[in-house]
């Protein structure tokens, strides 16, 4: 009996060792390491979807089946976002990708240890309330920004609607990055002698009434990169197009739904760049605390042919049709 018990005990120990060897190996370990990456996308719309896909493609290209994703969408709900991030922290994922500002803010509050890469973030200093932001966040956070030059975006309003005397800016008052963009664009247009009025909304239930008010008093409307506006682009179009008020937007997804033009970046490329950063962090090639925020520098003016034609907008020759 003692001999049998010894054999069983030895077998149990061997099984335990084998099981341990099959578990996840984390950053910097053997070539058999499997990296678990948590993706929190705050809301579903075209731009953020493209960023998430680009991120995943970059990681799969570099790491193949050595990377596993836990991809979650918060559906524009902060409570859900918090639950998703907390679950990532509890399960000790190797890296968190936070797609959009609320997801980044939630992740930053949840952990100072797990590496966090943001994407589709307009201005990290504003999003994280950094008073001394110089291009590198430090700590466990870095990522990519979707900010296209705001002065050039503002100039598009003047180029496409040259007779405009009054411009309304439609945005969600709960998004810090939207407020930042509004401030810059408003100052630029006012310096050109344009009357600018802000039309903030608190949630999607207010969009129709606020957009209606904006159309009544504006020759043109500008919408910054704003997640709530982007997810409600068709609703906005249902107000602005019948009113014959042209809309210039901060991202291609919103432009496709309700805008005449946009100074476009590729959100897929932005996500892909974020994925390349993630590979360096996971494999130990780079220290996230030293990684500067990266940008998509390939910006180009694009136009929505359908809406431009319907509103009689004359498009400059250097604009590319939005696909």
pLDDT, one tens digit per residue, over 155-202 is 999 999 999 999 999 999 988 889 999 999 999 999 999 999 999 999
Query: Which residue intervals of the chain are DSSP H helices?
Result: 2-22, 46-63, 78-90, 101-110, 124-127, 150-160, 176-191, 207-217, 227-231, 233-240, 252-258, 267-282, 305-311
Q: Are residues 226 and 91 in the same domain?
A: no
**The token pair that represents 295 in the structure block:** 């940008």
pTM of the model: 0.80
Q: Return the minimum-mean-pLDDT range out of 2-11, 35-44, 259-268, 274-283.
A: 2-11
Residues contacting 105, CB < 8 A, separation 6+: 127, 128
Q: Are residues 182 and 311 in the same domain?
A: yes
Residue 18: pLDDT over 60: no
**The token pair that represents 253 in the structure block:** 């997804």
Establish if 8 belongs to a structural domain: no
pLDDT, one tens digit per residue, over 64-105 is 999 999 999 999 999 999 999 999 999 999 999 999 999 999
* Number of domains, the chain: 2
Establish if 215 belongs to a structural domain: yes
Q: Are residues 199 and 274 in the same domain?
A: no
* Domain of 55, in residue numbers: 33-146+267-292
**The token pair that represents 165 in the structure block:** 């005397």
Q: Are residues 232 and 99 in the same domain?
A: no
Q: Are residues 124 and 164 in the same domain?
A: no
C-alpha separations of 243 from 79, 87, 140, 230, 256 in Å: 36, 46, 47, 20, 18
Residue 297 has what pLDDT? Answer: 83
Establish if 175 belongs to a structural domain: yes
Q: Are residues 191 and 304 in the same domain?
A: yes
Rounded Cα distance between 262 and 304, Å, is 9
Q: Are residues 213 and 273 in the same domain?
A: no
Establish if 308 belongs to a structural domain: yes
pLDDT, one tens digit per residue, over 237-267 is 999 999 999 999 999 989 999 999 999 999 9
Q: Are residues 208 and 165 in the same domain?
A: yes
Q: Are residues 110 and 81 in the same domain?
A: yes
Residue 292 exposed, middle or buried by CB count within 10 Å (0-12, 13-18, 19+): exposed
Establish if 10 belongs to a structural domain: no
């Amino acid at each position: 009996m003692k001999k049998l018990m010894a054999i069983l005990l030895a077998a149990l120990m061997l099984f335990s060792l084998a099981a341990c060897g099959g578990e996840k190996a984390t950053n910097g370990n053997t070539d058999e390491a499997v990296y678990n990456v948590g993706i929190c996308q705050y809301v579903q719309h075209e731009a953020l979807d493209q960023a998430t896909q680009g991120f995943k493609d970059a990681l799969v290209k570099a790491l193949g089946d050595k990377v596993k994703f836990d991809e979650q969408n918060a559906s524009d709900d902060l409570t859900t976002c918090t639950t998703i991030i907390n679950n990532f922290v509890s399960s000790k994922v190797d890296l968190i990708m936070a797609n959009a500002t609320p997801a980044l803010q939630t992740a930053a509050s949840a952990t100072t240890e797990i590496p966090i890469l943001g994407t589709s973030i307009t201005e990290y200093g504003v999003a994280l309330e950094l008073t001394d932001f110089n291009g590198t966040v430090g700590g466990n956070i870095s990522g990519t920004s979707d900010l296209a030059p705001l002065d050039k975006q503002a100039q598009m309003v003047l180029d496409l609607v040259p007779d405009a005397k009054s411009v309304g800016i439609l945005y969600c008052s709960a998004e810090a990055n939207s407020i930042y963009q509004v401030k810059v664009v408003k100052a630029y247009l006012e310096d050109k002698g344009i009357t600018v009025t802000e039309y903030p909304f608190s949630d999607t239930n207010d969009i129709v009434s606020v957009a209606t008010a904006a159309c009544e008093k504006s020759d043109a409307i500008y919408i910054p990169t704003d997640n709530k506006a982007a997810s409600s682009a068709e609703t906005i179009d249902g107000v602005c197009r019948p009113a014959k008020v042209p809309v210039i937007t901060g991202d291609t997804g919103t432009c496709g739904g309700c805008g005449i033009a946009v100074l476009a970046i590729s959100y897929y490329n932005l996500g892909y760049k974020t994925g390349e950063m993630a590979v360096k962090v996971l494999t130990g090639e780079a220290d996230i605390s030293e990684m500067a925020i990266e940008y998509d520098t390939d910006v180009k003016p694009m136009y929505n042919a359908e809406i431009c034609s319907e509103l009689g907008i004359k498009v400059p020759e250097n604009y590319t049709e939005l696909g």
